[in-house]
DNA sequence: GTCTATAGGTGGATAGAC
DNA sequence: GTCTATCCACCTATAGAC
C-alpha cells in the first residue's frame, strides 16, 4: 500500500505509530519527527515509505476503515439478535477509548476543514459505511420487535454515531471512561424494547 | 481581561477573529499570523494584547462560556415549559453550526491532549455548567410530565451534550446542516412525552 | 532502505524604535 | 499600541551518499 517496493512490516510499524499519535493528539498535532523518534529512525526514512503526510493520512483512514469493516462482519456472523449487535458495536468504541484513544475518524472530523482532499473523501466513506451497517441492524431489530424507535432508521443511525463519537470526545476530556459508559447505557436503554 | 492597559475594542476584535479561526480550523491549526493577516496588523501587536497563545486560548473559552451562560439565563427567563427550553438549547448549537462553525469547546475537546493546562481547566467548567443546567431542565420537565426519560437526569444530560457535539462534528464533515437537524429531531422526539 | 545534510517555510515569542 | 527586525525551534520534503 505504501511504495510498492517498501518493506511491508516497516510500513505497518510506521502506520501503527502514526495511528496512535493521530488518535491521541490529532492530525495537525503530530509530525514525522514524532514518528521517527518513537521508531528510532530518521524522518527521511519515513518519507521513503510514505512520500507525504497526506498520503500517510489517507492510508491510515483506509486501514482503520478496513479494520472496522472486518469487526462489523464478525459481529454479523457471531451475534444472535439486534440488541447484541448494537451492544457489540458500542463495545468497539469502548475498546478504542479504553486504549486512551479517540476514534480516528471522529478526531479527523474535528480537523476536517484543514485536511487534504484525499483524506476528506476517505473520511466520509467511513461514516457512510457505519451508517449503512447500523441502518440494517436497526431495521431488522425493529421488524423482529427487538428494538424500538420512531421515524426512519437512518435518523437513529446518525444519532447513534453522533452520540458515540461525542461521548468519546467528552469522556477523553474528563479522562473518565465511565462517562462514556453512562451515555452508551442511556442510548441502549432508549432503543431496547424492555427499557 | 487581556493586558489591563490594552484597548478593549482591539482586544475584542482579536478575540472575535481568533474565535472564528478556532471554531473553523481548531486551536492547533491557526496562528498569530492568521489573526494578524485578517486584522491587518502585525504579530507583535497581537502579543501586546495576549502575551501567549495559551493566554489567548484561555480568554476565548472564558468569553464563550460567559456568552453561553447568558443565553441559558435568557432561555430560563423567557421559556414556558421544559420542552421549549430543550428546543432552544438545541437551537444554540444550530446557530453556531449555521455560521459554519463547530462548538468552540467541542473542537477543543478533540484537541484536549495537546492543550495547555489552563485551557483544560476552563474547558471542563463549560461542560460542567451545561450539564448542571440540563439536569435542572430535565428534572423539572420529568416532574411536570413534560419530558420522559429513564434513569438519572445526569445520564440523559450527558447524552444530550455528547449527541449534540457529535452531531455538529458530523454535520460539518458533510457540510450538511440537515444531518444535525435529523439527529436533534430524533433526540427531542425520544425525550418528549407524546412521541 | 536508511542515513546525513539541507532547503524553504512557518511556528510562537521578544527587543527596541517610534 | 503598533511597528521592524530578529531569534530559535519546528515543520514537510528532497538530494545524494552508503
DSSP letter for each residue of B99-124: TT---HHHHHHHTGGGS-HHHHHHHH
Task: Tell me what percent of the residues of chain A surpass a pLDDT of 70.
Answer: 98
Average pLDDT, chain A: 96
pLDDT > 80? residue A61? yes
Q: Are A169 and B162 in contact (CB under 8 A)?
A: yes
pLDDT > 90? residue A194? no
Average pLDDT over residues B47-71: 98
pLDDT > 60? residue A195? no
Nearest to B103 by CA among B76, B64, B142: B64
Could you report the per-residue pLDDT of B144-166, keeping only the tens digit for each? 999 999 999 999 999 999 999 99
Q: Are B146 and B193 in contact (CB under 8 A)?
A: yes
Q: What is the pLDDT of residue A3?
A: 75
pLDDT > 90? residue B103? yes
Q: Are B146 and B82 in contact (CB under 8 A)?
A: yes
pLDDT > 50? residue A42? yes
Sequence spans of domains, chain B: 57-191
Q: Cα separation of B86 and A101, whole Å?
A: 31
* Cβ contacts, strand D, under 7 angstroms: A 30-34, 43-44, 47, 51-54; B 5-8, 10, 40-45, 48-49
Q: What SS3 class is residue A17?
A: helix
Q: Which fold has domain B57-191?
A: Tetracycline Repressor; domain 2 (1.10.357)
Confidence of residue B77 (pLDDT cuts 50, 70, 90): very high
Q: Containing H/E element for B163?
A: helix B153-173
Q: Cα separation of B130 and A161, whole Å?
A: 21
Task: Tell me, yes or no, if the pTM score tops 0.75.
Answer: yes
DSSP states of B63-78 as a string? HHHHHHHHHHHHHHHH
pLDDT > 80? residue A1? no
Whole-number distance in Å between B61 CA and D9 C1': 27
Q: What is the pLDDT of residue B193?
A: 67
Q: What chain B residue is nearest to A181 in terms of C-alpha separation?
A: B155
Q: What is the pLDDT of residue B195?
A: 44
Nearest to A87 by CA among A194, A189, A193: A189
- Name residues whose C-beta falls within 8 Å of residue A193's C-beta, 6 or more positions apart in sequence: A145, A146, A147, A148
Q: What is the pLDDT of residue A124?
A: 98
Bases of chain C below 7 A from a protein C-beta are 1-6, 10-16
Could you report the per-residue pLDDT of A97-143, keeping only the tens digit for each? 999 999 999 999 999 999 999 999 999 999 999 999 999 999 999 99
Outline where chain A has alpha helix (H): 8-25, 32-39, 43-49, 53-78, 82-98, 104-110, 117-143, 153-173, 177-191
Distance in Å, alpha carbon of B138 to nearest chain A alpha carbon: 14
Average pLDDT over residues B62-71: 98
Average pLDDT, chain B: 96
Q: What chain B residue is nearest to A154 in terms of C-alpha separation?
A: B182
Average pLDDT over residues B160-178: 98
Distance in Å, alpha carbon of B7 to nearest chain A alpha carbon: 32
Q: What is the pLDDT of residue A33?
A: 98
Q: What is the pLDDT of residue B4?
A: 78
pLDDT > 70? residue B194? no
Q: Any idea which of A23-32, A164-173, B186-195 has the lowest mean pLDDT?
A: B186-195
Of B28, B112, B183, the CB nearest to A162: B183
Most A-contacting residue of B126, B163, B177 (CB-CB within 10 A), to test interface: B163
Confidence of residue B2 (pLDDT cuts 50, 70, 90): confident
Amino acid at each position: 500500500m505504501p511504495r510498492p517496493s517498501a518493506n511491508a512490516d516497516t510500513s505497518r510499524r510506521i502506520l501503527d505509530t502514526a495511528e496512535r499519535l493521530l488518535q491521541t493528539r490529532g492530525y495537525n498535532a503530530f509530525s514525522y519527527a514524532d514518528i521517527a523518534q518513537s521508531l528510532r529512525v530518521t524522518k527521511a526514512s519515513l518519507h521513503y515509505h510514505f512520500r507525504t503526510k497526506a498520503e500517510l493520512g489517507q492510508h491510515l483512514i483506509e486501514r482503520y476503515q478496513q479494520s472496522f469493516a472486518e469487526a462489523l462482519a464478525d459481529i454479523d456472523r457471531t451475534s444472535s439478535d439486534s440488541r447484541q449487535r448494537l451492544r457489540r458495536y458500542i463495545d468497539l468504541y469502548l475498546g478504542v477509548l479504553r486504549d486512551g484513544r479517540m476514534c480516528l475518524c471522529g478526531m479527523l472530523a474535528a480537523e476536517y476543514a484543514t485536511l487534504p482532499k484525499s483524506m476528506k473523501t476517505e473520511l466520509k466513506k467511513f461514516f457512510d459505511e457505519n451508517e449503512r451497517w447500523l441502518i440494517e441492524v436497526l431495521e431488522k431489530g425493529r421488524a423482529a420487535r427487538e428494538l424500538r424507535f420512531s421515524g426512519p432508521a437512518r435518523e437513529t443511525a446518525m444519532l447513534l454515531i453522533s452520540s458515540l463519537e461525542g461521548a468519546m470526545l467528552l469522556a477523553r476530556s474528563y479522562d473518565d471512561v465511565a462517562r462514556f459508559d453512562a451515555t452508551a447505557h442511556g442510548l441502549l436503554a432508549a432503543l431496547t424494547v424492555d427499557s
